[in-house]
Structure 1
Amino acid sequence: MKKIILLIAIVLIALFGYFSYQPETSQVQRPRVIPNVVVGKVEMMPIRDEVEALGTGKAFESIIVTSKVAEIVNQINFEDGDIVEKGSVLVLLRNDEQKAKVAVTEVKLAENLRELDRISTLVSSKTVAELEHDRLQSLIDTTRAEVAQANAALNDRIIKAPFAGRLGLRQVSVGSLVTPGEQISTLDDVSKIKLDFSVPERFIQELKPGKLVEAHAVAYPGRVFKGVVTSIDSRVNPETRAVLVRAVLPNADFSLLPGMLMKVKLIKQSREALLVPEAAIIPIQNKHFVYTVNEDNKVVQQQVTLGIRSRGWAEITEGLAAGEQVIIRGILKVRPGDEVKVQQAENFKFAQVEEMETSA
């Protein structure tokens, strides 16, 4: 037993001596690789405070073309979708009886006027009583009213466009009987489009006529329709807590049609501000920081105060000045005080685009 214990002790001493007297291997320290980062310059750029909403387009003026009287259609002077001017005759209804009444009343008026002229000299010479003159004058006034009434009945058989616009589909044919209120067609003034959209009530103080809007329609991807706010509803919807705003968009080429759903951007305010890419912002608890690169290519951490954020950009109200370089890619690879190799953001974007095109 003593021999075994002695043998174990000798082995342990030998191992300890072996490891204790091993020559130290020279560790080759590799030089630290300087990381590449992508930077962007802090610049003064236009920024807009916007409110986004959905709106429905309406014709600037819109009516249903109909008749005031029940009558037979004699003539139709338009086709589906025609663009007409104000006062254009659209439909003629049967009007023979009304023409005859106009002729009769005009004859009566002419006769009464001749009679008045004939007795005027007699009244002056006291040959005819003044009462007869007054009777004829009253008869003339009555006949003139009858002429106006007959002309009005005749005009009711002539249906005209009250304003310039585009007609819809024709709903009647020659020879058909139309009745009051029956739709003959529609007429829309689409040279301008009314765009109604709802805005949350918290923005009411910033709403006023003259504000600019930009609208997008699904039918025209990439096209922006610009307009101006013309009016704001006097009531807030108690269910949605929003107020209805109306803007007017020019539509000279008639691209927009009534009833279109449009995405609207109401531009509350437009101004110049210091902007950085949102990727440069480092949130730590309730504070925000950015990494800048100084003249020696060293990383500096700076606390900033943010303003508005919009589509990948952040406004800097405090902490940076125009022209400074902030790191927007490679933030996780560096710490304050590290030396870095700088690559401009434009080159990075170009490389990214080429890589995407190549992979496609």
Structure 2
Amino acid sequence: MNKIIITILAAAAAVFAYQQFDTKQAEIKRPKPIPNVVVANAKMMQVRDEVEALGTAKASESISVTAKVSEVITALNFDDGDLVKQGQLLVQLQDTEQQAKVREAKVALQEYMREFDRISSLVLSKTVAETERDSLQSKIDAARASLDQATSNVADRKIVAPFSGRLGLRNVSLGSFVTPSEQITTLDDVTKIKLDFSVPERFIQDLQEGKQIIAETVAFPDKIFKGTVTSIDSRINPTTRAVTVRAIVPNDDYKLIPGMLMKVNLIKQSREALLLPESAIIPIQNKHYVYLVNNENKVERVAVSLGLRTRGWVEIIDGIQVGDPVIIRGILKVRPGAEVTPEEAERFHFALKGNVESAV
């Protein structure tokens, strides 16, 4: 009986060993799968060396609309937020008395002028002394001054737009009594925006008029505003150790409003550089490498020298050439010398934003 059991166990062990051997042989014969990787060709692209700052939008021209005299409003010719032209009448104040004084001054002047003409002919005939004509001339000059004063008083009661722009909220009503200290509304020329921002003093040597800036605001997250540096303050703030820079930003669509906080990137320089996505870089100790895919679809490890970095991108100074296919995804699945199936990266949109930093 024991011999039978031993025989059965031996047979089972032999079958199991044969199955294991057969499985190992199948595994040896079965080729290993070739990993898929995503590659991107190294390209020459524009890179910007920038200084990032925060700025405040200001109107190109801005005033508070007030009256020159204390008077009652007889006409309002604008509504909240109206766009107005230079010289447009906004508010008419009561001017009945002043208009009457203008007419009175005109009548007096005309009377003196007629008397002057009559006396002038008599002076020529020696009938009247020249002193009487001179006295009348003085009265004419005084009458003209009175007319100018009366006309000015009338003009002071017409509030007009000194420049074209957009009005703010109306703070008065028809029939209100206004004083010079009371704000009727505001007027801003926002076709161009002054954008003031502070730059640390260590960047002063890079500042000059004509430099380009790009700006963003949370109100319009998908829009980039471009402008030009027009002036640099003559003093450095001793507290912040920064200098104020002013740029002009076109605002033809009136999207920007005075007082907006904007993120500003001052472009110190713009140039072409060989760039790769940061995901392609393999740091090993103090060196950097990339994996290339050669003509035989095999992986080659190449040492590279890095230049400037920005968000998601890195400049390659040395090690690869334009057009070299570099693995950017799937790096952990391969080793140098391994065969791979490369897939070209989807068309990526290149946009450098923010400060450019030195590579480690």
Aligned residues: 327
Task: Note the alpha carbon deviations across 1:125-150, whole angstroms, 9 max, x for none.
Answer: 33333333322222222221221111
Match of 1:142 in 2: 142
Match of 1:244 in 2: 244
Does residue 1:262 correspond to 2:262, yes or no? yes
Q: Cα distance, 1:34 vs. partner?
A: 4.1
Once residues 129 and 184 of structure 2 are traced to their aligned partners in structure 1, the CA distance between those partners, rounded to angstroms, is: 56
Match of 1:202 in 2: 202
Once residues 323 and 125 of structure 1 are traced to their aligned partners in structure 2, the CA distance between those partners, rounded to angstroms, is: 105
Q: Identity across aligned pairs (percent)?
A: 63
Contact 1:38-1:348 within 8 A present in 2 as well? no
Q: Which moved more, 1:58-67 or 1:43-52?
A: 43-52
TM-score by length of 1: 0.82
Local SS of the residue matching 1:257: coil
Pairs within 5 Å for 1:310-325: 310-325=310-325
Once residues 340 and 176 of structure 2 are traced to their aligned partners in structure 1, the CA distance between those partners, rounded to angstroms, is: 86
Match of 1:12 in 2: none
Once residues 320 and 138 of structure 2 are traced to their aligned partners in structure 1, the CA distance between those partners, rounded to angstroms, is: 90
Q: Structure 1: 5+ residue runs without aligned partners?
A: 1-24, 350-360
Q: Cα distance, 1:32 vs. partner?
A: 5.4
Q: Cα distance, 1:221 vs. partner?
A: 2.7
Pairs within 5 Å for 1:99-118: 99-118=99-118
Task: Note the alpha carbon deviations across 1:10-62, whole angstroms, 9 max, x for none.
Answer: xxxxxxxxxxxxxxx89757455544332211111122222222222222211
Once residues 286 and 123 of structure 1 are traced to their aligned partners in structure 2, the CA distance between those partners, rounded to angstroms, is: 108
Amino acid of the residue matched to residue 47 of structure 1?
A: V
Local SS of the residue matching 1:221: strand
Q: Cα distance, 1:182 vs. partner?
A: 0.7
Match of 2:156 in 1: 156
Match of 1:279 in 2: 279
Once residues 237 and 214 of structure 1 are traced to their aligned partners in structure 2, the CA distance between those partners, rounded to angstroms, is: 24
Q: Which moved more, 1:78-87 or 1:196-205?
A: 196-205
Does residue 1:131 correspond to 2:131, yes or no? yes
Once residues 205 and 126 of structure 2 are traced to their aligned partners in structure 1, the CA distance between those partners, rounded to angstroms, is: 78
Once residues 196 and 348 of structure 1 are traced to their aligned partners in structure 2, the CA distance between those partners, rounded to angstroms, is: 34
Pairs within 5 Å for 1:72-111: 72-111=72-111
Once residues 269 and 162 of structure 2 are traced to their aligned partners in structure 1, the CA distance between those partners, rounded to angstroms, is: 39
Pairs within 5 Å for 1:174-213: 174-213=174-213
Q: RMSD across aligned C-alpha pairs, in angstroms?
A: 2.6
Q: Cα distance, 1:212 vs. partner?
A: 2.4
Match of 2:301 in 1: 301
Once residues 268 and 321 of structure 1 are traced to their aligned partners in structure 2, the CA distance between those partners, rounded to angstroms, is: 27
Q: Structure 2: 5+ residue runs without aligned partners?
A: 1-20, 350-360
Q: Cα distance, 1:218 vs. partner?
A: 1.9
TM-score by length of 2: 0.82
Q: Cα distance, 1:347 vs. partner?
A: 8.9
Distance 1:146 1:286, change over 3 A: farther
Match of 1:20 in 2: none
Task: Note the alpha carbon deviations across 1:157-209, whole angstroms, 9 max, x for none.
Answer: 11111111221221112222111121111111222222222222222222222
Q: Which moved more, 1:331-340 or 1:244-253?
A: 331-340
Q: Which moved more, 1:285-294 or 1:71-80?
A: 285-294
